[in-house]
């Protein structure tokens, strides 16, 4: 049996556009999909494509109004967003007979696109970061400050109803003009409708991943996992790189780079080993490099060879041929399913062999991604594959492996931008080699900063090459670095409730976890000037530090831009006034993570490998504005089991009142623990009167602790189906203790004692900002020290 007509590999599509939206004239066809998107087709024989393609699954949009003006010589299509003009008479499309004018004030000179012109866009992402030290060029994206971009679908293969692929007809033009102006999120949402949504990821992928290209034995791997457990460093995924299979093979069979037979010297009982990992809350992925096919020494060779009609007596190789549906079906049946049956949860498909196949335009990587993903979901599980980016539409096959980068500051400095910018092609789940993969140099601070970025990125996968000096275990670094690394790995698991909600929002609403700043501030020039800064979900902004700290100030720096409004440091609660550029300085144990006023962030309080819906949960609530958050939870594998808990902050500054409410769950509450303990951290809240707490309308007396940055309320073991409300009757914004902050910084700064005294006196003396700045500058302090003092004193 092959792939065709197998229900596992047939997907739901809606490739035929509503006839009301289609204008056909001889060899050209125009399809108005939305007021901002139009399909432009040319086919010499007048036969047009109405099947799904590699990139496009759904052309069935709700019909929209447009104006059609036509004469003997010309055809015009006008919507609220664009004005298309097509001059008849010439065969095909040319720059002279097809152009589209944007109807909006995006540019005084570049508001018209002529056929054949390349668009100027904000770029997208790249296939791989393999062997990249620093930056690499990016492919085209879907967003442009000029307001329009293109998708060229002319060469992508057909995805047929029977689940197989078909070569595209030659000499056709199949373009999509996207004229969304600077409505970047609107553009992305409609692209997801066109190309298919981002799937909902299993919950466990959002925890920490342990990965290393290294010939572990079963005993060594267990010992390592036990030590992580003893030190309360949680991991949810165990990655076993290529040495799980036989690699030292007879040279007549090649290098052993491709393999499917367990190395029994390293793993004598794979099934028992995988079960051991599962019992400890770990899921497992194995690395495969499939390009070299199946050699006669493989355990699966004989059975697979017989199924494919290979001369096994002659020991003919089973060649890798992704264009052969029978090979592909056998590839899954004999090479992958048996390993999944004993506990492999998903596959790391490490394709490094180019984009050429026997079918023109068909990329083997896309084929592997598409069919691996569908195959992984065959038993009712959520689909999941771990592979490289294969062009537009790859968002349907998460998670992305970005490749083998160098261990350098330059590599780290590129990755925040690279990750956020991938949202411009809808690719939202990149996984990087956190800490870098190879070469480079040892730098403990670099690894700390990389881990901090990893924790606030889509996937946090520690990884390195097989060199004996390349391990990423926290205890291999100095004590200060080790402590910070462990704390951030624990923080990643605490963030899972927040991350999982963002996973839902990405799937349901097309909102990426990581968004460039200009998505929400498209007309602010500063939003385009902080490429390494991004929204991390709906409540937070992150600006990773990607350069060494200043040894005198003891802090790293990042130049950031804060949107209008009030913001709070996620770790310290320090308030910041927005609508400005600001240099942010942080010690080794912190990076700038800012929560919006009114922000609500749920966290897991349990430090364990498993990332199930927690029994103990912390919720950080940030003062100053109204706020809402809907927490999504389920059984981790079925969307039908979803339950949503709505949380709301009502801040009434005029009345000095506030309330915070956790509503009763909506949906399948059976997936929640029966009871839950809450730690509510009200950050930035000052109050002169003890707040009132009610559970289902009944007043209770929970533990309350006043903290430096606000108020902590702990409510133990209440039913998860209850409603919880906290009322504040005399509330105000808590002010930071600037003198204490200044002293703590100056005390640690590596400068002259007399200069510390002068700076402290200047701060205590006070006065207007200009005067204090002048007094501090007159001391002659190092630049980083001056900058840190400036941030402390005038953040808010």
pLDDT of amino acid 715: 97
Q: What is the mean pLDDT of the segment spanning 196-209?
A: 98
Cα 239 off chain centre by: 19
Give the angle subtended at the CA of 690 by the CAs of 686 and 574, to the nearest 5°.
Answer: 20
Q: Which of 713, 707, 711 is nearest to 694 (CA)?
A: 713
Using one digit for the tens of pLDDT, what is the confidence trace for 269-307? 999 999 999 999 999 999 999 999 999 999 999 999 999
CATH code 2.60.40.1180 region(s) in the chain? 613-733
The token pair at 11 is: 């997907």
Q: Average pLDDT over the chain, rounded to whole?
A: 96
* Average pLDDT estimate for 107-123: 91
Distance, C-alpha 425 to centroid of its chain: 12
For residue 104, the model assigns a pLDDT of 83
pLDDT at position 204, please? 97
- CA–CA gap between residue 423 and residue 550 (Å, rounded): 32
Could you tell me if 573 and 684 are in contact, meaning their C-beta atoms sit under 8 angstroms apart?
A: yes
Select from 726, 727, 758 the least CA-distant residue to 742.
758
Q: Which residue in this structure is represented by tokens 């540019």?
A: 107
pLDDT for 773 equals 85
Residue 177 is predicted with a pLDDT of 99
Q: Is it the case that residue 108 has pLDDT exceeding 80?
A: no
The residue count of the chain comes to 796
Q: Is residue 415 over pLDDT 80?
A: yes
Largest CA distance in the chain: 92
Find residue 24's DSSP bridge partners.
29
Angle at 229 between CA 224 and CA 234, to 5 degrees: 100
Cross-strand bridge partners of residue 662 = 647, 724
Taking the C-alpha atoms of residue 643 and residue 93, their distance in angstroms, rounded to an integer, is: 51
CA 735 to chain centre: 35
What pLDDT is attached to residue 526?
A: 98
pLDDT at 180 over 90: yes
Q: What is the pLDDT of residue 683?
A: 98
- The predicted-structure confidence for 55-64, as pLDDT tens digits, reads as follows 999 999 999 9
pLDDT in tens, 427-444: 999 999 999 999 999 999
For 512-541, the pLDDT digits (tens) are 999 999 999 999 999 999 999 999 999 999
Mean pLDDT, residues 24-37: 98
What backbone phi and psi angles, to 5 degrees, belong to 252?
-65, -20
Residues 772-786 pLDDT 10s: 988 999 999 999 999
Residue 253 structure tokens = 């069979």
Q: Which residue has the tokens 């897991």?
A: 604
pLDDT at 169 over 80: yes
Q: What is the mean pLDDT of residues 627-643?
A: 90
* pLDDT at position 110: 80
pLDDT of 642 reads 94
pLDDT over 70, % of the chain? 100
Between CA 345 and CA 663 the distance in angstroms is 35
Return the DSSP state at 332. Answer: I
Residue 485 dihedral angles phi and psi, to the nearest 5°: -60, -45
Q: Place 636 in a pLDDT band, splitting at 50, 70 and 90.
A: confident
- pLDDT tens, residue by residue, 450-483: 999 999 999 999 999 988 999 999 999 999 999 9
pLDDT over 80 at 107, yes or no: no
Torsion sign (Cα): 191, 193, 194, 198: positive
Q: Taking a C-beta distance cutoff of 8 angstroms, is the pair 294, 335 a contact?
A: yes
Q: State the residue for tokens 């030659």.
A: 170
d(CA 634, CA 382): 12
**Average pLDDT of the residues in 339-365:** 95
The reported pLDDT for the residue numbered 638 is 77
Q: Taking the mean position of all CA atoms in its chain, how far away is CA 245?
A: 30
Whole-Å CA distances, 536 to 209, 322, 514, 540? 20, 37, 5, 5
Phi first, then psi: give them for residue 703, nearest 5 degrees.
-75, 130
The pLDDT assigned to 637 comes to 77
End-to-end CA distance of the chain: 67
Report the CATH architecture of 7-195: Sandwich (2.60)
Q: Is the pLDDT of residue 580 over 90?
A: yes
Q: Exposed e or buried b for every residue in 140-164, given b needs 16+ CB within 10 A?
A: bbbbbbbbbbbbebbebbbbeeebb
CATH architecture, domain 613-733: Sandwich (2.60)
Question: What tens digit of pLDDT does each residue of 358-398 get?
Answer: 998 999 999 999 999 999 999 888 999 999 999 999 999 99
What was the pLDDT predicted at 466?
86
282 vs 204: CA distance, rounded Å: 8
Residue 464, token pair as written in the block: 């390195």
Please tell me the predicted confidence (pLDDT) of residue 70.
97
How does pLDDT run across 698-749, given as a tens digit for each residue?
999 999 998 989 999 999 999 999 999 999 999 999 999 999 999 999 999 9
Beta strands in 216-327 (DSSP E): 237-240, 283-288
pLDDT of residue 708: 87
What gap in Å lies between CA 294 and CA 301, rounded to an integer? 6
What's residue 769's pLDDT?
Answer: 82
DSSP H or E stretch at residue 725: strand 724-728
């Amino acid at each position: 049996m092959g792939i065709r007509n197998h229900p596992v590999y047939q997907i739901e599509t809606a490739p035929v556009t509503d006839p009301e939206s289609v204008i056909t004239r001889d060899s050209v066809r125009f399809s108005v999909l939305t007021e901002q998107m139009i399909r432009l087709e040319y086919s010499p024989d007048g036969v047009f494509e109405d099947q799904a393609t590699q990139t496009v699954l759904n052309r069935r949009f709700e019909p929209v109004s447009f104006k059609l003006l036509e004469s003997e010589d010309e055809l015009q299509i006008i919507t609220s967003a664009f004005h298309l003009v097509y001059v008849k008479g010439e065969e095909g499309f040319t720059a002279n007979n097809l152009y589209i004018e944007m109807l909006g004030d995006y540019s005084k000179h570049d508001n018209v696109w002529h056929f054949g012109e390349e668009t100027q866009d904000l770029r997208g992402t790249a296939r791989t970061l393999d062997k990249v030290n620093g930056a690499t060029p990016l492919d085209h994206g879907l967003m442009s400050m000029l307001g329009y971009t293109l998708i060229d679908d002319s060469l992508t293969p057909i995805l047929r109803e029977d689940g197989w692929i078909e070569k595209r007809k030659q000499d056709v033009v199949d373009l999509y003009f996207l004229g969304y102006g600077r409505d970047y999120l609107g553009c992305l949402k409609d692209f997801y409708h066109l190309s298919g949504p981002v799937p909902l990821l299993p919950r466990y992928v959002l925890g920490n991943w342990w990965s290393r290209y290294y010939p572990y034995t079963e005993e060594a791997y267990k010992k390592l996992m036990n030590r992580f457990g003893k030190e309360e460093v949680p991991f949810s995924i165990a990655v076993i790189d290529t040495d799980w299979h036989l690699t030292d093979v007879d040279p007549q069979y090649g290098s052993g780079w491709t393999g499917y037979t367990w190395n029994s010297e390293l793993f004598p009982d794979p099934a028992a080993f995988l079960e051991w990992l599962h019992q400890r809350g770990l899921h497992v992925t194995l690395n495969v490099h499939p390009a070299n096919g199946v050699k006669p020494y493989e355990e699966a060779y004989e059975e697979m060879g017989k199924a494919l009609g290979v001369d096994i007596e002659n020991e003919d190789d089973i060649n890798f041929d992704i264009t052969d549906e029978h090979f592909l079906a056998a590839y899954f049946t004999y090479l992958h399913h048996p390993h999944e049956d004993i506990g492999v949860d998903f596959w790391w498909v490490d394709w490094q062999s180019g984009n050429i196949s026997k079918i023109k335009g068909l990329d083997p990587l896309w084929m592997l991604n598409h069919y691996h993903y569908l195959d992984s979901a065959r038993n009712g599980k959520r689909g999941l594959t771990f592979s490289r980016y294969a062009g537009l539409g790859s968002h349907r096959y998460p998670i992305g492996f970005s490749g083998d980068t160098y261990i350098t500051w330059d590599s780290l400095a590129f990755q925040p931008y690279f990750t956020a910018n991938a949202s411009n092609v809808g690719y939202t789940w990149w996984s990087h080699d956190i800490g870098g993969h190879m070469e480079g140099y040892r730098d403990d601070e670099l690894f700390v900063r990389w881990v901090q970025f990893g924790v606030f990125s889509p996937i946090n996968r520690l990884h390195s090459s097989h060199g004996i000096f390349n391990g990423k275990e926290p205890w291999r670094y100095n004590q200060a670095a080790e402590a910070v690394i462990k704390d951030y790995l624990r923080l990643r698991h605490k963030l899972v409730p927040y991350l999982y909600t963002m996973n839902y929002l990405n799937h349901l609403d097309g909102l990426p976890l990581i968004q460039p700043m200009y998505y929400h501030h498209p007309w602010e020039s500063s939003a385009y000037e902080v490429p390494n800064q991004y929204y991390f979900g709906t409540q937070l902004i992150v600006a990773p530090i990607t350069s060494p700290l200043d040894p005198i100030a003891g802090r790293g720096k990042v130049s950031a831009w804060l949107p209008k409004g009030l913001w709070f440091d996620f770790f310290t609660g320090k308030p910041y006034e927005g609508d400005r550029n600001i240099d942010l300085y942080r010690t080794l144990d912190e990076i700038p993570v800012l929560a919006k006023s009114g922000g609500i962030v749920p966290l897991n309080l349990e430090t364990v490998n498993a990332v199930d819906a927690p029994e103990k949960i912390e919720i950080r609530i940030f003062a100053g504005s109204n706020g809402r958050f809907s927490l999504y939870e389920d059984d981790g594998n079925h969307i039908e089991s979803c339950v949503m808990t709505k949380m709301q902050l009502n801040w009434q500054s005029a009345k000095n009142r506030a309330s915070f409410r956790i509503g009763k769950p909506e949906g399948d509450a059976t997936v929640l623990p029966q009871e839950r303990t809450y730690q509510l951290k009200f950050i930035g809240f000052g109050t002169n009167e003890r707040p009132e707490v009610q559970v289902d309308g009944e007043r209770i007396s929970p533990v309350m602790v006043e903290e430096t940055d606000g108020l902590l309320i702990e409510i133990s073991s209440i039913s998860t189906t209850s409603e919880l409300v906290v009322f504040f009757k005399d509330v105000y914004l808590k002010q930071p203790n600037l003198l204490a902050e200044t002293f703590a910084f100056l005390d640690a700064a590596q400068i002259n004692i007399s200069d510390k005294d002068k700076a402290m006196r200047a701060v205590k003396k006070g006065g207007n900002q200009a005067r204090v700045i002048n007094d501090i500058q007159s001391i002659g302090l190092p630049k980083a020290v001056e900058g840190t003092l400036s941030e402390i004193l005038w953040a808010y």
